[in-house]
Amino acid sequence: MTTTTQPRAEADPTQACPIAPVVDIVFSRWTTPILWALHQHGRQRFVELERRLVTITPKVLTQRLRQLERDGLVVRTYHAEVPPRVEYEISDLGLSLAPLFATLAQWAGSNLDRVDQARRDYDARPGTRRP
- Residue at 6 is within a domain: no
Identify whether residues 79 and 113 lie together within a single domain: no
Judge if 80 and 104 occupy the same domain: no
Statement to judge: residues 85 and 45 lie in one domain: yes
pTM of structure: 0.76
Q: Tell me: do 81 and 101 sit in the same domain.
A: no
35 near 68, Cβ under 8 Å?
yes
Residue 28 maps to which CATH number?
A: 1.10.10.10
pLDDT score for 18: 87
Cβ atoms of residues 53 and 31 within 8 Å:
no
The pLDDT, as a whole number, for residue 113 is 97
Domain that residue 41 falls in = 11-91
Kindly state whether residues 32 and 48 are assigned to the same domain. yes
Are residues 78 and 42 part of one domain? yes
Is residue 103 located within the same domain as residue 76? no
Q: How many domains does the chain have?
A: 2
> What integer pLDDT is reported at residue 7 of this predicted model?
54
Residues 126 and 74 in one domain: no
Query: In Å, how far from its chain's centre is CA 114?
Result: 23
Q: What is the mean pLDDT of each run of 10 residues along the chain (131 residues)?
A: 53 75 87 94 96 95 96 96 94 94 93 96 85 66
pLDDT given for residue 13 in this prediction:
57
Quick one: 86 and 105 in the same domain?
A: no
Q: pLDDT at position 23, please?
A: 87
* Pair 38, 74: CB distance under 8 Å: yes
Alpha carbons 43 and 73: distance in angstroms, whole number:
13
Q: Are residues 21 and 54 in the same domain?
A: yes
Would you give the DSSP letter of residue 17? -
